[in-house]
Amino acid sequence: MPDKSPQAAELISIPALLARNARKYGAQPAYREKEFGIWQCWTWIEAAEEIRALALGFLALGVEKGDYVAVIGRNRPALYWSMVAAQKVGAIPVPLYQDASAEEMAYVLEHCGARFAVCGDQEQVDKVIEVQETVHGIEHLLYLDPRGLRKYDHSRLHAMREVMTEGRAAQGRLEGELKAREAALGYDDTCVMLYTSGTTGKPKGVVLSNRNIIETSKASSEFDRLRAGDEVLAYLPMAWVGDFIFSIGQAYWNGFCVNCPESPETMYENLHEIAPTYFFAPPRYFEERLTILMIRMEDASRFKRWLFHTCLNFAKRVGPKILDGEPVSAWDRVRYRIGDILVYGPVRSRIGMSRVRVGYTAGEAIGPEIFEFYRALGVNLKQLYGQTEASVFITQQPDNEVRADTVGVPSPGVELRIAESGEVFYRSPGVFVEYYKNPDSTASTKDPDGWVATGDAGFIEESSGHLRIIDRAKDVGKMADGSLFAPKYVENKLKFYPNILEAVVFGSGRDKCCAFINIDLTAVGNWAERNNIAYGSYQELAQHPQVYAMVQEHVEEVNAGIAEDEMLSGCQIHRFLILHKELDADDGELTRTRKVRRGLIAEKYDDLVTALYDGSGEIYTETEVTYEDGRKGKIRATLEIRDVAVVGADEPKMAAE
């Protein structure tokens, strides 16, 4: 075996960590899942036993070393076990996005050549069966929830429970083989393969080794002092690298407990019941939670509203300081303590954050107001910046240096470099091995010295040493007059308004910027209700003149903000329209992780983009939409286009000429 890290001579694979946890934390909870209304619990010893049975079952089914095992479903302990069981027999788990369509799934299954697939329920089994018409690699299918599957042909379809039973029955025969396979796992063997959603092109299979995962988990756990006894809620897609690091890497390294919700719809309730100590959510989640809270507060009695807002305003001033350990007067501390009893404590408990020691958000920029709100309540919310290719962590914010506009300092073991072009490069023990079967992409992303291009443009702030991300490097362009164009920067500013769900800004190579806006149905719908505005559909609400007026106000405010930044003042929005449908991953407009696919949108709504720039006041359009079951339909609409006031528009242009 190649070199081992000295601190952890034995701990060079996830199964090895599992064995250690079963020895060291045996009777402590390893997994919980709410089922039939009760939290079911498995200790580390029990989990290890289930995983062993499943691994033996895999051997009985004929899983070979180096096979790929696809895992598809919502977060459930048994699916996590199937990933570790696959590793135990020397196979490589490939978690897939459960909401992927059959076509998307077909590509991935064919690309990795999976021989086995583990599915959560009938829906996923159906998709894999459909895929098999074109992809013939799958030999055996396992499923967890038997509902609706009774009548299916079971010659190659197996209930996971039965596979485990067979594994236990064959223990005598297969035990030796299992031990040998497990002992052969090396530090540089593949731990997991994760497909990146990719804003462009086909998904790529990112190969991460045991070294990548374990070194990263170790370093990041030390950074945030994670420990056995911590609790996480596993609710983000299993195919996403973050979930793998949090729910397997860090969970196994530290021996903490992974809790799985009863169903996706009960997530809020389950979060409240578990009250995790370590929590991750995308900015969108925090926004949603805040929107719901504010809407509920509107319905509260006048006194409660007054109390809530008074306490909150005070907390915004004092809360973050207390969190960061800055000096705060004794009187303020007392007042904060009272507020904590009356308001902050109950609110934290309601949103399931009463015990959060470490909370992270990443993936997109988060609105400063939202960020401040949670910190004011005493939630230690921080930002991190990461990628699948880095095993998540590139930079993260230390406990006492948290700010809304930076993404933190390099994580332990990570080196950063900013290229001439402004693109951020990094090198770390977590850097991926390769893109599976794609040496060209590997070479263009990772240079021979191990430096990886992030594809993001940013700079390191001199005063604090924190990294600030401006935009996707390839999206940062020049406008016709040569000034800098950073669409994401503007879009994020727009999206900070609760009424705006998504925004797409155009302007590269053109003389001015224009935007598509998606309204947020929850927030705007609530506003409409309060203002007695009747509407029958999303489309109707989106085209309402008062909604337009409101959005116009937001856009103008954003323009004023952008105008203050000299470098980016050219990015002010001159014209906008509100789209007649929500941008949707099913239509390919967003990635599965909800990132805007700019190029595709520009192409698909070519007529609308043209209308934005040719000065017309409205435009009739037809759009094809895909329903959840894959059928297609058309929606028709006439969209209004509005001109927006721009700050100091004329002078700089004149000067440039």
Report the interface residues with other proteins, using CB under 8 A. Answer: 35-38, 147-148, 150-151, 262-263, 265-266, 269, 628
* Pick 136 or 150: Cβ nearer other proteins: 150
How distant, in Å, are the alpha carbons of 492, 503, 596, 627 from that of 590?
15, 12, 5, 15
Residue 573, beta-bridge partner list: 513
Cβ-based burial of 306 (10 A; exposed 0-12, middle 13-18, buried ≥19): exposed
Q: Which is nearer to other proteins, 399 or 586 (CB)?
A: 586
For the bound state, the minimum distance from the C-beta of residue 520 to other proteins, rounded and expressed in Å, comes to 21
Query: Cα separation of 413 and 410, whole Å?
Result: 8
Q: Cα–Cα distance between 183 and 185 in angstroms, integer?
A: 6
Q: How far is the CB of 325 from other proteins (least distance, A)?
A: 40
φ/ψ of residue 481, rounded to 5: -90, 10
- Please, what is the minimum distance in Å from the beta carbon of residue 262 to other proteins? 5
Q: Which is nearer to other proteins, 151 or 634 (CB)?
A: 151
Q: How far apart are CA 280 and CA 271, in angstroms?
A: 12
The distance of closest approach from Cβ of residue 150 to other proteins in the complex, given in angstroms and rounded to an integer, is 6
Gap between the terminal Cα atoms of the chain:
66
Shortest distance in whole angstroms from residue 483 CB to other proteins = 48
Nearer to other proteins, 266 or 638 (CB): 266
CA–CA dist 27, 20 (Å, integer): 13
Q: What are phi and psi of 594, to 5 degrees?
A: 65, 40
Distance, CA of 136 to CA of 130 (rounded, Å) = 11
Region of residue 325 (left: phi > 0; alpha: psi -120 to 50; beta: else): left
Q: Rounded distance, CA 111 to CA 114, Å?
A: 8
Determine how β-strand 392-396 pairs with β-strand 409-410. Answer: antiparallel
Is 79 or 135 the residue whose CB approaches other proteins more closely? 79
The distance of closest approach from Cβ of residue 530 to other proteins in the complex, given in angstroms and rounded to an integer, is 20
Rounded to whole angstroms, the Cα distance separating 12 from 221 reads 16
DSSP annotation of 497 reads S
| Rounded Cα gap, residues 287 and 366, in angstroms | 8
Shortest distance, position 621 Cβ to other proteins, whole Å: 25
Q: How far apart are CA 567 and CA 78, in angstroms?
A: 52
Sign of CA dihedral 189, 193, 198, 201: positive
CB of 454 to other proteins, least distance (A): 38
Report CA torsion sign: 226, 227, 228, 230: negative
Q: Shortest distance, CB of residue 216 to other proteins, whole angstroms?
A: 35
Which CB sits closer to other proteins, 77 or 363? 77
What is the closest distance, in whole angstroms, from the C-beta atom of residue 30 to other proteins in the complex? 23
Task: Compare residues 123 and 166 and give the one whose CB is closer to other proteins.
Answer: 123
Q: Which is nearer to other proteins, 136 or 147 (CB)?
A: 147
**The sheet that has 409-410: what strands, in order across it?**
278-280, 358-361, 381-387, 392-396, 409-410
| Beta carbon nearer to other proteins, 35 or 177 | 35
Helix-helix angle 302-324:368-376, to 10 degrees: 90
Q: Strand runs (DSSP E) across 499-559, as ranges?
A: 500-506, 513-519
Q: Compute the least distance from the CB of residue 62 to other proteins, in Å.
A: 27
The residue type of 430 is: G
Report, in Å, the least distance between residue 146 CB and other proteins: 9
Q: Which is nearer to other proteins, 50 or 145 (CB)?
A: 145
Residue 572, CA distances (Å) to 36, 415, 550, 601 in order:
53, 35, 17, 20
Task: Give the residue with the Cβ less far from other proteins, 3 or 265.
Answer: 265
Q: Which lies closer to other proteins via its Cβ, residue 37 or residue 615?
A: 37
CB of 126 to other proteins, least distance (A): 12
- Cβ nearer to other proteins, comparing 110 with 126: 126
Whose tokens are 């796992």? That residue is 185
